[in-house]
A and B are shown apart, each in its own frame.
Chain A
Amino acid sequence: MSKTGYTSSEMMVITASRFLKNDAVVFIGIGLPSLAANLARRLHAPDISMIYESGTLDTKPDRPPLSIGDDELSRKALSIVSVPEMFCYWLQGGKIDIGFLGAAQIDRFANINTTVIGNYSHPMVRLPGAGGACEISGFCTHTLIMLRQTPRNFVKTLDFLTSVGFGKGSDSRSGLGFTGEGPQAVITDLGILEPSPDTKELIMTYLYPGVSIEKVRKSTGWPLKIAEPINITSVPNKEELMVLRTLEKMMK
């Protein structure tokens, strides 16, 4: 806990939850995205449709799950579908609005790596791999990416391109057969980046209260573009913090 009265992880989750509207159909991974969606459902988006990769459609868990396949998710689901149905009909079929992605590395065009750090055949760090990330980034109408902003994560060149954001920028994503429009925002522990409308390069558009421009530049492995004037997000309100902390307690 910092002197602000909330942590940077809490700020990330609350910021992500604010992106989720009440009528959204959201594809969720475990960790911070799952917390963000469950938070939104308890605040401003009670009717949000949450979909977990394991096949649970429109599930309403009482507590945030530890894994995408928790019994809590299947017991509270409107419908449970098989893995091929999930990937063919719902994802590739373009029936999901927002997909959440995490990443170990991201580049300036919001392409991400969740596969390896180092060389593929002899990796320094073997990461879990793609899972559903390729299809989420390809076929959800929009994606939201959540990761910490450090020079190790925000890199000039990815060690491995697992999921395409905007490829080499501009219109290079179109023509790849993806029906989704690509990343809408990257939510970090320092603020929010959004793609430039024409070049698709990520621009820092929001900082969290108390974060300096110098800090975000130092935390990024490429010359970072920053919106002028830069926006500052609002601090978490009492209700957001209280509900989030209750959710986190339930997971322990």
Chain B
Amino acid sequence: MTEFLSLREAVQKYVKPGISLAMEGFTHLIPHAAGLEIIRQKIRHLSLIRMTTDIVYDQMIGMGCADKLMFSWGGNPGVGSLHRLRDVAEHDYPHHIEINEHAHAAMANAYVAGASNMPCAIFKGYRDTSYPEVNPNIRFIQCPFTGETLTVVPAIKPDLAIIHAQRADKQGNIWMRGIIGIQKEAILAARQSIVTVEEIVDQVDEKQGGIVIPRWVVNAVCCVPKGAFPSYTEGYYNRSNDFYVRWDEISRDRQRFLDWMDKFVLSTNDFSEFMFKLEKQGYV
């Protein structure tokens, strides 16, 4: 049974210290509001999983939520470095994080394997690169039919997946369109899931275009308008390219970052207050 909860309630109920947590959204529909709520609730010791580690994980890593990180690309898309990620990788600040690094194809295949209840994913790639030397989870097998050397990585099976989507209906079916990324696989690979949405409508189906994730794989739905900001929700609002550029300046210095997070995240009660404050201060 899908529950309709506030984001605060959903995070309280499902995001426990020590769990593995996949938050996905490939450039589009990034669950930013959920990331900020996890920071607000000061949840620590998470094993974070995300292909394109960008601002949402920069914030969580910088605020000390993560013990581990699995990723396949980490940067500020279209802008440059991700300063909090760099600080943890280069200087162990705020503390050491165990890094499990991959390339995109490996993580995409590993999510598919997780969703398919397979122990591992088989694909081609990584051969003669440095990755197998630094990641013991990249291994090679021989195809029993052709003898070809193939690459294997363990399936991704997170304790919890969080995504953002355009709509849910009153039963909890999820509807999304535009760049759909890896979200469906993340939900199906995970043991439990939370979906934040722009709005809740009477009914969704694929005749409206887009894709539907059925309600019985969704534990909690939270209505969080603008919940992907500064990423975007197609059909609702555009990407705030300007905020991505400004993040570079906000996050570059440790104290500046902490002050900003304190002012806009820790000192606000929820995402709508956060957005209101951003608007008032000219960030939106």
A contact set with B: CB distance below 8 Å: 30-31, 53-56, 65-71, 73-75, 80, 82-84, 86-88, 91-92, 115, 120-126, 128-135, 138-139, 158, 160-164, 167, 172, 176-178
**How distant is B74 from chain A, measured CB to nearest CB, in Å?**
5
User: Chain B, interface size: which category?
Assistant: 35 or more
Tell me what chain A mostly uses at the interface: helix, strand, loop, or mixed: loop
Please give, as numbers and ranges, the residues of chain B lying within 8 Å of A83 by CB-CB distance: 26, 51, 104, 108, 181-182, 185
Query: 10 nearest interchain CB pairs?
Result: A69-B27, A128-B75, A130-B103, A131-B73, A126-B89, A67-B77, A66-B78, A67-B78, A134-B103, A83-B182
Known A-B contacts A67-B244, A129-B72; the reply to A135 vs B178 at CB < 8 A is no
On whether the beta carbons of A54 and B182 are closer than 8 Å, the reply is: no
On whether the beta carbons of B108 and A123 are closer than 8 Å, the reply is: no
Minimum CB distance partner of B102 in chain A? A130
Please give, as numbers and ranges, the residues of chain A lying within 8 Å of B149 by CB-CB distance: 177
Known A-B contacts A68-B77, A83-B108, A88-B108; the reply to A131 vs B182 at CB < 8 A is no
On whether the beta carbons of B108 and A71 are closer than 8 Å, the reply is: no
Minimum CB distance partner of B88 in chain A? A126
**How distant is B127 from chain A, measured CB to nearest CB, in Å?**
4
**14 interchain pairs (CB within 8 A)?**
A55-B181, A67-B241, A69-B77, A71-B232, A82-B182, A86-B108, A128-B74, A129-B72, A132-B73, A134-B125, A134-B131, A135-B105, A138-B124, A177-B148
Bound-state Cα–Cα, A163 to B130, Å: 9
**How distant is A54 from chain B, measured CB to nearest CB, in Å?**
5
On whether the beta carbons of B27 and A135 are closer than 8 Å, the reply is: no
Tell me what chain B mostly uses at the interface: helix, strand, loop, or mixed: loop
Bound-state Cα–Cα, A30 to B74, Å: 14
Contact pick for A134, options B109, B129, B184, CB 8 Å: B129
Please give, as numbers and ranges, the residues of chain B lying within 8 Å of A80 by CB-CB distance: 178-180
Interface residue B28 (Cβ < 8 Å from any Cβ of A): yes
Please give, as numbers and ranges, the residues of chain A lying within 8 Å of B74 by CB-CB distance: 126, 128-129
- Chain B, residues 98-141, CB within 8 Å of chain A (1/0): the string is 00011111001101100000000001111111110010000000
On whether the beta carbons of B104 and A71 are closer than 8 Å, the reply is: no
**How distant is A100 from chain B, measured CB to nearest CB, in Å?**
15
Bound-state Cα–Cα, A83 to B78, Å: 19
Please give, as numbers and ranges, the residues of chain B lying within 8 Å of A138 by CB-CB distance: 124-125
Bound-state Cα–Cα, A162 to B178, Å: 30
Interface residue B150 (Cβ < 8 Å from any Cβ of A): yes
Bound-state Cα–Cα, A119 to B220, Å: 43
Please give, as numbers and ranges, the residues of chain A lying within 8 Å of B81 by CB-CB distance: 128
Please give, as numbers and ranges, the residues of chain A lying within 8 Å of B102 by CB-CB distance: 130
Please give, as numbers and ranges, the residues of chain B lying within 8 Å of A56 by CB-CB distance: 179
Minimum CB distance partner of B24 in chain A? A83
On whether the beta carbons of A160 and B105 are closer than 8 Å, the reply is: no
Bound-state Cα–Cα, A123 to B87, Å: 10
Known contacts A88-B109, A126-B89, then 12 further A-B pairs from the complex at CB < 8 Å, ordered by chain A residue: A31-B78, A54-B181, A56-B179, A67-B239, A73-B179, A80-B178, A120-B134, A125-B90, A131-B104, A134-B105, A162-B130, A177-B149
On whether the beta carbons of A92 and B123 are closer than 8 Å, the reply is: yes
Please give, as numbers and ranges, the residues of chain A lying within 8 Å of B67 by CB-CB distance: none
On whether the beta carbons of B89 and A84 are closer than 8 Å, the reply is: no
Please give, as numbers and ranges, the residues of chain B lying within 8 Å of A160 by CB-CB distance: 130
Minimum CB distance partner of A176 in chain B? B127
Bound-state Cα–Cα, A167 to B130, Å: 12
Please give, as numbers and ranges, the residues of chain B lying within 8 Å of A54 by CB-CB distance: 26-28, 179, 181
Interface centre among A54, A68, A91, A178 (most CB of B within 10 A): A54
Bound-state Cα–Cα, A51 to B4, Å: 38
Interface centre among B128, B149, B231, B244 (most CB of A within 10 A): B128
Interface residue B14 (Cβ < 8 Å from any Cβ of A): no
On whether the beta carbons of B78 and A132 are closer than 8 Å, the reply is: no
